[in-house]
């Protein structure tokens, strides 16, 4: 019998016990389930960073000077009020301004995927980045778009190298930049050369970076910039102890609804089949038939996900399991940002038809949906009934995974 099934049976039996005894045993079961699923104290996920590099990285993270056309900073799309994401279905890069809906209404270059939050990124065992895993060190060998010419053996540092050379993201999609649209290693190096010269000429940025890197300003490289930003991300968005950590490791308390949600998470609902380990993610790729909004990474409302990296037909429509820390703060959800309610995102895993109106879809959209359903049918969780109160309990449980970042950020320049 599968562990989740056994847990569901145990949960039912516990519900028949007297209130106090049942409550205590339910707590024991939930704690043991979390440990079995790989939860560890938050501090054990931390990677040591240099404080000076964190300071320098924060300044660079907030600076629009890190964008070729000085249009955008990392902090433009990774915003505190949206849980280090941007609150939009698809990200808006260069030529956009403001935050939230103001950024979308003002126009700009559209990035065809939802902005990922930063919680836990670069911690121990967190070595797969982006929705499609285009930077992946999970096998022990680092794979990325640099194709053997990676600028670092640190996966997070390599990941930080990519946004500043992405057309539309931090390089404006304009005739002046047409020569850079190859997005090759050689054109990337051209952008890095321009950016490092610019940063060297800005004492407010180059001074702290040179001091942190232990080298003169003239010797700074773009990799120093990337290492500083990676250090900032590791420190500012590191996993910190949550109410659920306190419950598991310090005998803290949960409400009856939160406890019920936790037992569902590890039991009947089967969430922990993919959302497990220190980050509530198996760091693997799965297909959930979320509605697709926007034109999609592959155009015409299509996003093949992991397939775009591996070219393996079995990887179509698969995306890396998102970690769940602060998930209550990072709406909208899915790779396409198609769902604004956390309950709807939960529902999509088990009952995707509840979120679709087939009559409003074109025949091509329905065909794509059928293809996603076909892949989804092989996932660990599908076609499971969850009542409304069960979805609400899962939402309450996920709220126990909230915590705050260490420092605030705001774009400058």
pLDDT at 17: 57
Which 8-state DSSP code applies to residue 302? B
pLDDT per residue over 45-98, tens digit each?
A: 999 999 999 999 999 999 999 999 999 999 999 999 999 999 999 999 999 999
- Token pair, residue 242, equals 């949550």
Strand extents, DSSP E, 221-337:
285-286, 319-320
pLDDT at 271: 97
380 phi/psi in degrees, rounded to 5: -60, -30
Residue 305 banded pLDDT, cuts 50, 70, 90? very high
72 phi/psi in degrees, rounded to 5: -155, 150
Instruction: Tell me how far CA of residue 117 lies from CA of 87, 138, 327, in angstroms.
Output: 10, 20, 9
| Topology agreement, domain 3-45+240-401 and domain 51-236 | yes
Name the class of domain 3-45+240-401: mainly alpha
pLDDT at 358: 86
- Given CA atoms 344, 306, 156, 271 in this order, what sign does their dihedral have? positive
Q: The whole model's pTM is what?
A: 0.93
- If residue 34 lies in a helix (H) or strand (E), which one and from where to where? helix 19-36
Residue 23 banded pLDDT, cuts 50, 70, 90? confident
Per-position DSSP letters for 6-32, written without gaps between them: HHHHHHHHHHTS-HHHHHHHHHHHHHH
The percent of the chain in helix, strand and coil, each rounded to the nearest 5, is 50, 5, 45
Say how many C-beta atoms besides its own lie within 10 A of residue 267's C-beta.
Answer: 23
Q: Does the pLDDT at position 21 exceed 70?
A: no
Instruction: List 412's β-bridge partners, or say none.
Output: 63
* Domain 51-236, second-level architecture: Orthogonal Bundle (1.10)
C-alpha 73/C-alpha 76 separation (Å) is 5
Q: Does the pLDDT at position 15 exceed 70?
A: no
Which 8-state DSSP code applies to residue 214? T
Q: Classify residue 148 by burial, with Cβ atoms within 10 Å: 0-12, 13-18, 19+.
A: exposed
Tell me which residue has tokens 């039996």: 13
C-alpha 136/C-alpha 158 separation (Å) is 10
C-alpha 198/C-alpha 337 separation (Å) is 34
333 phi/psi in degrees, rounded to 5: -110, 160
Q: Does the pLDDT at position 380 exceed 90?
A: no
pLDDT at 411: 86
Instruction: Tell me how far CA of residue 295 lies from CA of 89, 365, 372, in angstroms.
Output: 12, 12, 16
3-state secondary structure of 320: strand
Per-position DSSP letters for 181-205, written without gaps between them: TT--HHHHHHHHHHHHHHHHT-HHH
pLDDT per residue over 338-359, tens digit each?
A: 999 999 999 999 999 999 988 8
Which 8-state DSSP code applies to residue 323? P
pLDDT per residue over 182-197, tens digit each?
A: 878 999 999 999 999 9
Q: Is 71 within 8 Å of 315 (Cβ atoms)?
A: no
- Token pair, residue 314, equals 């079995």
167 phi/psi in degrees, rounded to 5: -65, 130
- Given CA atoms 333, 336, 337, 339 in this order, what sign does their dihedral have? negative
C-alpha 51/C-alpha 19 separation (Å) is 50
Report domain extents, the chain. 3-45+240-401, 51-236
């Amino acid at each position: 019998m599968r562990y989740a099934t056994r847990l569901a049976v145990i949960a039912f039996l516990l519900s028949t016990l007297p209130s106090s005894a049942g409550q205590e045993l339910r707590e024991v079961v939930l704690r043991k389930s979390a440990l079995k699923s790989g939860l560890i104290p938050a501090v054990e996920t931390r990677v040591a960073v240099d404080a000076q590099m964190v300071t320098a990285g924060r300044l660079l993270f907030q600076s629009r000077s890190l964008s070729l056309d000085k249009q955008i900073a990392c902090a433009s799309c990774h915003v505190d009020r949206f849980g280090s994401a941007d609150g939009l279905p698809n990200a808006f890069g260069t030529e956009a301004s403001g935050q939230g809906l103001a950024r979308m209404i003002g126009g700009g270059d559209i990035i065809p995927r939802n902005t990922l939050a930063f919680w836990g990124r670069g911690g121990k065992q967190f070595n797969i980045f982006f929705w499609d895993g285009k930077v992946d060190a999970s096998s022990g060998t680092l794979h990325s778009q640099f194709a053997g010419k990676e600028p670092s053996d640190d996966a997070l540092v390599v990941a930080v190298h990519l946004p500043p050379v992405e057309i539309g993201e931090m390089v404006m999609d304009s005739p002046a930049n047409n020569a850079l649209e190859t997005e090759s290693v050689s054109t990337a190096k051209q952008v890095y050369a321009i950016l490092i010269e610019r940063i060297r000429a800005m004492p407010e940025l180059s001074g702290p970076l040179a001091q942190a890197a232990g080298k003169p300003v003239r010797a700074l490289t773009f990799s120093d910039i990337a290492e500083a930003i990676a250090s900032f991300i590791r420190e500012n968005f590191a996993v910190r102890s949550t109410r659920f950590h306190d419950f598991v490791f310090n005998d803290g308390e949960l409400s009856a609804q939160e406890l019920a949600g936790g037992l569902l998470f590890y039991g009947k609902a089967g969430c922990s089949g993919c959302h497990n380990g220190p980050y509530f993610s198996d760091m693997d790729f799965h297909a959930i038939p979320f509605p697709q909004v926007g034109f999609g990474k592959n155009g015409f409302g299509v996003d093949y996900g992991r397939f775009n990296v591996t070219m393996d037909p079995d990887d179509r429509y698969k995306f890396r399991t998102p970690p769940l820390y602060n998930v209550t703060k990072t709406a909208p959800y899915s790779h396409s940002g198609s769902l604004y309610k956390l309950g709807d995102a939960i529902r999509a895993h088990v009952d995707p038809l509840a979120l679709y109106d087939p009559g409003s879809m074109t025949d091509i959209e329905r065909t794509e949906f059928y293809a996603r359903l076909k892949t989804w049918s092989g996932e660990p969780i599908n076609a499971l009934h969850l009542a409304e109160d069960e979805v609400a309990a899962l939402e309450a449980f996920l709220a126990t995974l909230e915590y705050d970042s260490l420092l605030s950020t705001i774009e400058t320049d």
